[in-house]
Amino acid sequence: MNFDEHFISRLLADAYRFEPRNLDYLRDSELPHYGPFRRMKNNLLAALAKRGWSRRHFYIDRAAKKFGAISAHMDKHREAYALLCDDYSREAYVGVLSYRTLGAKHVRALSNPAAHLEARETNKIRYMKGGGVRKAMGRMFNRYEIDGKSGGIQVELPQLAFQHTFTSEQYFYRHGAVEIGAREGDVVLDGGGCWGDTALYFADRAGTNGSVFVFEFEPGNLQLLRHNLSLNPHLERKINIVERALWSHSDEELHFDSKGPGTRLEEGGAAAEHSVKTQHIDGLVQERGLQRVDFIKMDIEGAERAALRGAAETIKRWKPRLAITVYHHIDDFFEIPLYLASLGCGYRFYLDHFTIHEEETVLFAEAD
């Protein structure tokens, strides 16, 4: 099935579905919680939908605008879709686009949203050692302890961050016989270190002979990142903090407003609160004298395309495994894989999605 047939058939089928428990109340605190009446109503709507009686839960104008943004680049979506190497990735591609068009009451971004929510409760029982140890950036941070490959890991994180990094493992692709992630002995570049959870995760997976370079510049994030690293001295010594913003070139001055994990760079945003110097990966490799790069992760709030342009020589030289987020801009779904394919490295591409909302879609790539 080609992209057009797959996407349109999925979109039309989803328009007649009703998903009763497909909202994440931790992600959006303004959502109404389920009471007995709401549960009864949703169960009735779900039963009617199964029998062909459906109700529209999306706004026509909004859905038309979303669909228009996708259909304006159908040729490029076809190319990107054709690059994906397994059925799971192709289904994830059209599923997330359908979700972004019709919304949570019609489309499952994950095949099993109930399991996703239940895993959060399991995490509280198994790994949470202290609730509400600090409040920062409007979020409650809890203390967690989890066994790693090279010893225990302790972190202070909000529930969603812990789940994404350590139990959902959103920077590890694992479907069928394909596994793409950080490995023993890897040199890892962690773009978007935020609170240090991903740096610790990668350092644990890279083991004794590996190392991690983590990029973070937002002051509040850096403070929490250093704190979480200090809780894990056996991993901290393998982690190098680069207090610059990943970009296409080094030493540019860009501006940003501090918004915790949602901090974005603003080109020409001189009125913004803070400024930061940029760093491109090719320059870092040369400056630090790196002999190889094995794995690159980027989750940098829409700066991924620019940062990948700044890593072109590194990628062509060593063909590192990649985990690059594509959910910040709808065009990233095709722009990023098509750019990477243009480098001629022979990458095989895969796609996965890790939440029941529209965030955390990750493109994975691996070459021989």
Q: What is the CATH number of the domain that holds 212?
A: 3.40.50.150
Same domain, 91 and 184: no
Amino acid 310: pLDDT: 98
Mean pLDDT of the chain: 92
Amino acid 33: pLDDT: 58
More confident residue, 347 or 357: 347
Q: Is residue 125 one of the residues assigned to a domain?
A: no
Same domain, 68 and 189: no
Q: How many domains does the chain have?
A: 2
Q: Helix (H, G, I), strand (E, B), or coil: what is residue 273?
A: coil
Mean pLDDT of 260-274: 81
Decide: 341 and 334 in contact? Cβ < 8 Å.
no
pLDDT tens digits for range 245-264: 999 999 999 999 999 999 99
Domain limits at 25? 3-102
Same domain, 182 and 290: yes
User: What are the tokens at 306?
Assistant: 């620019």
Amino acid 29: pLDDT: 57
Same domain, 60 and 183: no
Mean pLDDT of 106-126: 88
Same domain, 186 and 93: no
Same domain, 206 and 294: yes
Same domain, 293 and 194: yes
Q: Is residue 20 one of the residues assigned to a domain?
A: yes
Per-residue pLDDT at 34 exceeds 60: no
pLDDT tens digits for range 281-321: 999 999 999 999 999 999 999 999 999 999 999 999 999 99
Mean pLDDT of 156-165: 96
Same domain, 59 and 186: no
Q: Is residue 360 one of the residues assigned to a domain?
A: no
Return d(Cα 181, Cα 322) in angstroms, integer: 8
Per-residue pLDDT at 329 exceeds 70: yes
Beta bridge partners of 310: none
- Render the burial of 34-69: b for 16+ CB within 10 Å, e for the rest: eeeeeeeebeebeeebeeeeeeeebeeeebeebbee
Same domain, 64 and 190: no
Same domain, 189 and 288: yes
